C-alpha cells in the first residue's frame, strides 16, 4: 500500500468516524479562526506601514518648511547685526539708541529678548519684548548671567539655532565684529517656541541627538523619555503596539536636533479589531450552521444505517426460518470473526489491510453468510441425517445463490460500500479452502478474500461445537484439534496461529451463549432471542409506578451488561455498568422494602433476605475484581449470581407481588 492510499484511507476514516470527524472540524475551526486573526493582524500592520509612510512624507515636508524658517531667522539676525554695525551702534554701545532700535525690532517680530554680551559672558545690554508676555516662562525669571553661562558652555553654539528645555526658549547667537574684524562681542536672540512652532501639528516635537525630548507642541501626548538611542538621520522608533515616533534630523553640521512626530494608531487598531471580531462572529455562525446541518445529516445517516441493519437482520432471518440450526450460529460467528480480525490487525502485514471501518463491519456483514440457503429445497436443507453426494452438491449451491442475491442488490442500487463488499465476499467464498479444494470457485491461498478466510474458520469452529441431528457437539479441545489439522489445507496458516492464541476467548463466547440459553426462560422476555435482550412486558408490573420504572431501568442496564459480556467489551465498560447496578439496585431495594414494610406484606422477610443475598454476592464480585481484575471466572460469577438473580427477581419474585399504590 503506497502513501497515497494510506492518506486516502486516513481521510475516509476521518470523514466516517464521528470522533475523528468532529475533532477534524474543531481543528479546522481553530485553524480558520487563526487565519482570520493572522490576516487581520497583517492588514493592521500593512495599514500601519502605509500610515507611517504618509506621515513620514508629511514630516519631511514640514521639516523643509521649518528649516526654511530657521534660515530666515539666521538671515534676519545677520541683517540686524549688519544694520547695527553700519549705524555704528556696536562700537559706542549707546544704550538708549540700541534699546530704541531693538525695541522697534522686538515689537514687530516674535522675539522674546535680545542680550548683547562680551566674550567673558558678561551681559552688556538686555532688551525684553514689550509685546509678548513671557512672565510665565522660566527664561523671564532667570538672571542674564545665568542665561549667558548656559550659552557660553558650548563654543559651537555660535550661528546655530538651539533649544533650551529648562528655559523653554529657542535662541540664536551671532558674533559682533568691530571695525577691525575682531569678535569681542556677541548678540543672542531669544524666541518663544509656541510662536516659532505654531504652524506645526500637535503631535510634533524636537529631540536632541542624545534621544532626549526637548520640546513638543502638546506635552500631554509627547513622550517624556525614549528607551532607544537615535542613531540615524531618518527613522522610526516603536514605543508601543499602537504608538511610534518618526523623526528626521535638521540640516546643518552644527545642528543636534530632530524634528519628530508621534503617531497613534489605536483608532486604526480598534477599527480593525472590531472588523476582525465581526468576521470571526460571522464565520463562527456560518460554521455552526454547517456543523449543525452535518450533525443533523449524520443523525439521518445513523437512522438509515440502523434501518439497513434491520433489513439485513430480516434477510438473515430468511435463512433462519429455512434452517433452525443457524439461529444462534449467526451471533456467535459474528463475535468470532470480529475477535480474529482484531488480533490479525496487530500483525505488521495486516496493520493497513484491516482498518477500523473493516473491524466495524466484518462482524455484522457475516450474518448474511448463509442467505443463499433460501434457494435450497426444504427436504435437503432440513434433512435430519447426513447428506448424500447429490444432496451435498445441491447444498453447495447456497454460495452461488448468495452471490446472485447480493450482486443484484449491488448492481441495482449502485452500492459501493465496505459492508456489502464484506457481505458479498463472506457469503460467496466462505467455503473456499487454502489449498484450492473448496467451492464455488476453487480459489486458493491469498486469492481468497481475507474476510472469507477469517469466517471460514469461525463457521467450522461453531459447527463443530454445536449439536446436530446427525452428531453430538464436540468439546472445545476436540474442535481445536480438528481445526489445526486443516492448517495449510483448509485454513490460512496465519489465521490458525491467531486462533490458537485466542482460543480461550472462542470457548468463552460459545459457552456464554449456551449458559444464557440454559438459564433464561425466554418465554417470559419476548421472542427476541438472538439479541439476548430482556423485553419489558406489562405482565411484569407490580402495580406501583415507581417500582415498575426502576425495574425498566434495571432491565435496560442488565441488557447492556449482557451485551458487553457477549461482545467482549473492555473491563472499564463492564465495571461502570456494575457500579451503576450496585448503587441503583440498592436504591430499588430500599424503596421496595419501605413499601412492603408499610403494607405489612407477608413476604417482607423473604424479600429482605433475598436482597441481602444479592448484596453479599455483589460485594464478593467487586472484591474479586479489585484483587484480580475481570477474569473468565469473574464473568461467569457475574452471569450466575448477578444477571440471573436480577432477572429472576424482577420477572418472578417482584412480578408475583401484590402491592397497592401508596
DSSP string, 289-334: HHHHHHHHHHHHHHHHHHHHHHHHHHHHHHHHHH-GGGTTHHHHHH
Q: Is the pLDDT of residue 2 over 90?
A: no
Determine contact, residues 647/558, Cβ cutoff 8 Å. yes
What separation in angstroms does the CA of 31 have from each of 26, 34, 43, 280, 461?
A: 9, 5, 18, 12, 52
Convert 86-130 into a string of H (helix), E (strand) and C (coil): HCCHHHHCCHHHHHHHHHHHHHHCCEEEEEEEECCCCEEEEEECC
In this prediction, residue 656 has a pLDDT band, given cuts at 50, 70 and 90, of low
Domains assigned to the chain? 55-263 (3.30.450.20), 323-517 (1.10.3210.10), 520-654 (1.20.120.50)
Rounded to whole angstroms, how far apart are CA atoms 3 and 168?
76
Can you tell me which residue has the cell 475533532?
A: 23
Q: Is the pLDDT of residue 320 over 70?
A: no
Neighbours of 368 (CB within 10 A): 25
Can you tell me which residue has the cell 500500500?
A: 1
Question: Residue 311 has what pLDDT?
Answer: 63
DSSP 8-state code for residue 280 = H
Report the largest interatomic distance among the alpha carbons of the chain, rounded to a whole angstrom: 153
Q: Is the pLDDT of residue 450 over 80?
A: yes
Q: Is the pLDDT of residue 594 over 70?
A: yes
Q: Is the pLDDT of residue 42 over 60?
A: yes
Helix (H, G, I), strand (E, B) or coil at 491: strand
Determine contact, residues 399/344, Cβ cutoff 8 Å. no
Q: Is the pLDDT of residue 588 over 50?
A: yes
Neighbours of 661 (CB within 10 A): 9
What would the mean pLDDT of 187-203 be, rounded to a whole number? 77
Mean pLDDT across the chain, nearest whole number?
78
Cell reading at 467 = 449439536
Question: Residue 459 has what pLDDT?
Answer: 94
Question: Residue 457 has what pLDDT?
Answer: 97
Percentage of the chain beyond pLDDT 90 is 14
pLDDT digits (tens, 9 = 90+) for 80-111: 877 777 777 766 666 677 777 777 766 555 67
Contacts from 534-537 at CB under 8 Å and sequence distance 24+? 534/558, 534/559, 534/647, 534/651
Q: Is the pLDDT of residue 382 over 70?
A: yes
Rounded to whole angstroms, how far apart are CA atoms 285 and 279?
10
What would the mean pLDDT of 551-578 be, rounded to a whole number? 74
Q: Is the pLDDT of residue 636 over 90?
A: no
pLDDT digits (tens, 9 = 90+) for 148-188: 877 765 555 455 677 777 777 778 888 777 655 666 778 88
In this prediction, residue 372 has a pLDDT band, given cuts at 50, 70 and 90, of confident
Rounded to whole angstroms, how far apart are CA atoms 151 and 157?
7
Neighbours of 191 (CB within 10 A): 22
Q: Is the pLDDT of residue 241 over 50?
A: yes
Determine contact, residues 606/657, Cβ cutoff 8 Å. no
Question: Residue 281 has what pLDDT?
Answer: 84
Q: Is the pLDDT of residue 658 over 80?
A: no
Q: Is the pLDDT of residue 506 over 80?
A: yes
Q: Is the pLDDT of residue 301 over 90?
A: no
What separation in angstroms does the CA of 7 have from each of 13, 21, 352, 359, 612?
A: 10, 15, 11, 19, 58
In this prediction, residue 326 has a pLDDT band, given cuts at 50, 70 and 90, of low
What would the mean pLDDT of 384-403 be, rounded to a whole number? 88
Q: Is the pLDDT of residue 492 over 90?
A: yes
Question: Residue 535 has what pLDDT?
Answer: 65
In this prediction, residue 510 has a pLDDT band, given cuts at 50, 70 and 90, of confident
Inter-helix orientation angle 329-345/450-465, to 10°? 130
Cell reading at 95 = 544704550
Closest Cα to residue 519, out of 649, 640, 611, 634? 640
What separation in angstroms does the CA of 153 have from each of 113, 139, 147?
A: 20, 17, 10
**Angle at Cα 220 formed by Cα 217 and Cα 221, nearest 5°?**
80
Range from 121-125, 328-332, 533-537, 600-604 carrying the lowest mean pLDDT: 533-537
Q: Is the pLDDT of residue 519 over 50?
A: no
Helix (H, G, I), strand (E, B) or coil at 191: strand
DSSP 8-state code for residue 17 = -
In this prediction, residue 449 has a pLDDT band, given cuts at 50, 70 and 90, of very high
Range from 194-208, 214-228, 340-354, 382-396 carrying the lowest mean pLDDT: 214-228
Q: Is the pLDDT of residue 497 over 60?
A: yes
Percentage of the chain beyond pLDDT 70 is 75
Question: Residue 344 has what pLDDT?
Answer: 94
What would the mean pLDDT of 610-636 be, rounded to a whole number? 77
DSSP 8-state code for residue 368 = G
Range from 5-9, 208-212, 555-559, 627-631 carrying the lowest mean pLDDT: 5-9
Q: Is the pLDDT of residue 441 over 90?
A: yes
Rounded to whole angstroms, how far apart are CA atoms 656 and 49?
87
pLDDT digits (tens, 9 = 90+) for 305-319: 666 666 666 666 556
Amino acid at each position: 500500500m503506497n502513501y497515497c492510499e494510506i492518506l486516502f484511507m486516513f481521510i475516509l476514516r476521518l470523514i466516517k468516524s464521528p470522533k475523528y470527524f468532529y475533532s477534524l472540524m474543531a481543528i479546522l475551526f481553530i485553524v480558520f479562526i487563526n487565519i482570520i486573526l493572522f490576516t487581520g493582524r497583517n492588514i493592521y500592520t500593512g495599514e500601519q506601514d502605509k500610515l507611517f509612510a504618509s506621515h513620514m512624507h508629511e514630516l519631511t515636508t514640514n521639516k523643509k518648511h521649518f528649516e526654511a524658517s530657521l534660515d530666515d531667522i539666521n538671515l534676519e539676525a545677520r541683517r540686524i547685526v549688519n544694520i547695527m554695525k553700519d549705524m555704528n551702534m556696536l562700537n559706542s554701545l549707546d544704550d538708549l539708541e540700541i534699546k530704541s532700535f531693538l525695541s522697534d525690532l522686538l515689537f514687530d517680530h516674535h522675539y522674546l529678548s535680545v542680550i548683547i554680551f562680551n566674550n567673558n559672558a558678561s551681559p552688556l545690554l538686555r532688551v525684553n519684548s514689550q509685546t509678548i508676555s513671557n512672565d510665565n516662562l522660566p527664561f523671564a525669571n532667570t538672571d542674564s548671567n545665568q542665561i549667558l553661562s548656559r550659552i557660553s558652555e558650548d563654543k559651537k553654539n555660535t550661528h546655530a539655532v538651539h533649544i533650551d528645555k529648562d528655559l523653554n526658549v529657542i535662541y540664536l547667537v551671532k558674533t559682533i565684529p568691530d571695525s577691525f574684524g575682531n569678535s569681542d562681542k556677541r548678540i543672542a536672540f531669544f524666541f518663544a517656541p509656541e510662536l516659532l512652532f505654531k504652524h506645526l501639528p500637535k503631535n510634533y516635537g524636537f529631540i536632541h541627538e542624545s534621544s532626549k525630548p526637548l520640546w513638543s507642541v502638546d506635552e500631554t501626548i509627547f513622550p517624556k523619555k525614549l528607551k532607544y538611542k537615535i542613531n540615524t538621520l531618518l527613522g522610526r522608533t516603536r514605543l508601543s503596539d499602537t504608538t511610534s515616533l518618526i523623526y528626521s534630523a535638521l540640516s546643518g553640521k552644527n545642528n543636534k536636533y530632530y524634528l519628530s512626530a508621534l503617531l497613534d494608531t489605536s483608532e486604526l487598531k480598534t477599527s480593525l479589531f472590531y472588523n476582525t471580531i465581526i468576521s470571526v462572529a460571522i464565520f463562527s455562525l456560518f460554521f455552526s450552521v454547517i456543523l449543525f446541518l452535518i450533525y443533523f445529516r449524520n443523525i439521518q445517516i445513523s437512522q438509515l444505517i440502523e434501518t439497513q441493519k434491520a433489513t439485513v437482520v430480516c434477510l438473515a432471518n430468511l435463512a433462519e426460518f429455512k434452517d433452525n440450526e443457524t439461529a444462534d450460529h449467526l451471533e456467535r460467528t459474528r463475535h468470532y470473526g470480529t475477535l480474529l480480525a482484531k488480533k490479525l490487525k496487530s500483525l505488521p502485514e495486516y496493520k493497513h489491510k484491516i482498518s477500523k471501518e473493516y473491524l466495524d463491519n466484518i462482524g455484522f456483514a457475516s450474518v448474511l453468510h448463509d442467505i443463499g440457503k433460501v434457494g435450497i429445497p426444504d427436504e435437503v436443507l432440513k434433512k435430519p441425517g447426513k447428506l448424500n453426494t447429490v444432496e451435498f452438491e445441491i447444498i453447495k449451491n447456497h454460495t452461488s445463490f448468495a452471490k446472485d442475491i447480493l450482486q443484484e442488490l449491488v448492481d441495482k442500487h449502485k452500492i459501493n460500500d465496505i459492508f456489502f463488499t464484506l457481505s458479498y465476499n463472506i457469503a460467496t467464498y466462505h467455503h473456499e479452502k487454502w489449498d484450492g479444494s473448496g467451492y464455488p470457485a476453487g480459489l486458493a491461498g491469498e486469492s481468497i478474500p481475507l474476510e472469507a478466510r477469517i469466517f471460514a474458520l469461525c463457521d467450522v469452529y461453531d459447527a463443530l461445537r454445536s449439536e446436530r441431528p446427525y452428531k453430538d457437539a464436540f468439546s472445545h479441545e476436540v474442535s481445536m484439534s480438528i481445526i489445526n489439522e486443516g492448517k495449510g489445507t483448509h485454513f490460512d496458516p496465519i489465521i490458525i496461529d491467531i486462533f490458537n492464541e485466542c482460543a480461550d476467548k472462542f470457548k468463552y463466547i460459545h459457552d456464554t451463549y449456551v449458559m444464557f440459553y440454559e438459564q433464561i426462560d425466554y418465554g417470559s422476555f419476548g421472542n427476541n432471542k438472538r439479541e439476548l435482550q430482556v423485553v419489558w412486558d406489562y405482565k411484569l408490573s407490580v402495580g406501583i409506578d415507581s417500582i415498575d420504572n426502576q425495574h425498566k431501568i434495571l432491565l435496560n442496564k442488565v441488557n447492556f451488561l449482557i451485551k458487553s459480556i457477549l461482545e467482549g467489551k473492555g473491563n472499564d465498560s463492564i465495571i461502570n455498568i456494575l457500579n451503576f447496578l450496585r448503587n441503583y439496585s440498592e436504591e430499588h431495594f430500599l424503596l421496595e422494602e419501605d413499601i412492603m414494610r408499610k403494607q405489612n406484606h407477608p413476604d417482607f422477610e423473604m424479600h429482605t433476605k433475598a436482597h441481602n443475598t444479592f448484596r453479599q454476592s455483589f460485594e464478593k464480585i467487586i472484591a474479586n475484581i479489585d484483587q484480580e481484575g475481570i477474569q473468565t471466572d469473574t464473568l461467569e460469577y457475574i452471569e450466575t449470581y448477578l444477571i440471573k438473580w436480577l432477572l429472576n427477581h424482577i420477572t418472578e419474585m417482584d412480578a408475583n407481588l401484590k402491592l397497592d399504590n401508596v
